């Protein structure tokens, strides 16, 4: 059951939407202004260590000092 990220074209609100089933999915509406003019946004995710002894991260910041 995926979570999709959206951005409202009218007010600029970014929001997430939990989708139970693609067959039951209806047009998303903005929780701030109620507009149906929304666009699916690019979703970023993080990774954590996988037990191989190496640490993984999707962090964009500088490494440890």
- Split into its structural domains, the chain has a count of 1
| Mean pLDDT value of segment 34-47 | 81
Least confident of 24-28, 34-38, 40-44, 57-61: 57-61
Q: pLDDT at residue 54 above 70?
A: no
Question: Which residue range(s) make up the domain with 16?
Answer: 3-40
Query: Is the model's pLDDT at 14 over the cut of 60?
Result: yes
Any domain includes 63: no
Q: What is the mean pLDDT of the chain?
A: 76
Whether residue 58 is predicted with pLDDT greater than 70 in this model: the reply is no
- Beta strand pairing status for 38-40 and 3-8? antiparallel
Confidence label for 37 from pLDDT (cuts 50, 70 and 90): very high
For residue 64, is it within any domain? no
> Backbone phi, then psi, for 23, in 5-degree steps?
-70, -30
Q: Is residue 18 part of a domain?
A: yes
Q: Which of 2, 4, 1 is nearest to 42 (CA)?
A: 4
13 belongs to a structural domain: yes
């Amino acid at each position: 059951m995926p979570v999709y990220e959206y951005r409202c074209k009218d007010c600029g609100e970014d929001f997430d939407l939990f989708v139970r089933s693609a067959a039951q999915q209806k047009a998303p509406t903005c929780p701030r202004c109620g507009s149906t003019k929304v666009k699916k946004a690019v979703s970023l995710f993080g990774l954590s260590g996988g037990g191989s002894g190496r640490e993984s991260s999707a962090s964009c910041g500088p490494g440890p000092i």
